[in-house]
Amino acid sequence: MVVAIDINLQKTVVSLTDGHWAKRVKDPSFAELISGKEPGHRMADYVDDQTVSLLKVQTNIETRYEGDGRGSVRKRSMGDIWVRSNGIFNPINIKSGLQGMRGQPNLVSMQKLLDYLCHRRIDSYYLLIVKFSVADAITHKTYLVDLLDWLDFIAYDAGPGQLMLREKEFYDSFELPYKTPTLSLIEKARRLFELSEQQLHQLVKNRKRRLGRQRDLVSQFVSGEMLIDQTDMEFVP
């Protein structure tokens, strides 16, 4: 099996990213950025921009942005930056956050990922994750993984249509280390589609139940007295 991004190039990307953020976390301005409420939201764009700029200026890494067909950078590309290896450009999605957070952050549109796979535009989808710890001193850790090798740790909500990372299970398994299953690209695409199909069916059932509840509510409304009743509400000064 050919690794989409060459192992040595992966090590280079991680080493460069590690070196950059080892310096940046010592900057007082970075400490200000990640202090206060919801630091993850503030750092996301900053870490994205800084890391993309870092990789773009490397002479030993060939990078591109995805174009929109008119010569401009495609908005909402699935890759923040695309790195050339083994004859093709591979998408890298840069994510950041605080260590110890165990949520389910959005990663990529399921439809877009399946479209690009099935149109044979990509054979990988890399996550370059920089996690920060804000204990006595600010530290960081860098992860680079092909999401298609870590499908055991994704979740999918057909409503917004986003694939999400089950952070706790992912990071716990990464530290073991976890042995990724050997799947063909066809098997990976099938697994994604099966998850998509399953959740779409569940979405339809949920929407039908919601429609039924709303139908009953409207029926009660149009047949009842037209009086405003706020007895089940609470108001505060």
Domain count, the chain: 1
CB of 66 within 8 A of CB of 88? no
3-state secondary structure the chain: CCCCCCHHHHHHHHHHHHHHHHHHCCCHHHHHHCCCCCHHHHHHHHHHHHHHHHHHCCCCCCEECCECCCCCECCCCCCCEEEEECCEEEEEEEEEEECCCCCCCEEEEHHHHHHHHHCCCCCCCEEEEEEEEECCCEEEEEEEEEHHHCHHHEEEECCCCEEEECHHHHHHHHCCCCCCCCCCHHHHHHHHHHHHHHHHHHHHHHHHHHHHHHHHHHHHHHHCCCCCCCCCCCCCC
Domain that holds residue 113: 7-197
pTM: 0.87
Q: Could you tell me if residue 139 is inside a domain?
A: yes
Q: Could you tell me if residue 90 is inside a domain?
A: yes
Q: Could you tell me if residue 112 is inside a domain?
A: yes
Token output for 103 = 């949520």
CA 115 remoteness from chain centre: 17
pLDDT in tens, 86-107: 999 999 999 998 888 788 999 9
Cα dihedral across residues 74, 76, 77, 82: positive or negative:
positive
Position 42 scores a pLDDT of: 79
Q: Could you tell me if residue 209 is inside a domain?
A: no
Q: Could you tell me if residue 185 is inside a domain?
A: yes
Walk along the chain (237 residues) in steps of 10 and give the mean pLDDT of each run: 84 97 90 76 88 94 95 94 96 92 91 96 97 86 96 94 95 88 94 96 93 93 87 92
Q: Could you tell me if residue 220 is inside a domain?
A: no
Instruction: Identify the CATH number of the domain in which residue 190 sits.
Output: 3.40.600
Q: Could you tell me if residue 54 is inside a domain?
A: yes
Position 194 scores a pLDDT of: 96
Residues ≥6 apart with Cβ < 8 Å to 172: none
* Alpha carbons 233 and 191: distance in angstroms, whole number: 46
Q: Could you tell me if residue 160 is inside a domain?
A: yes
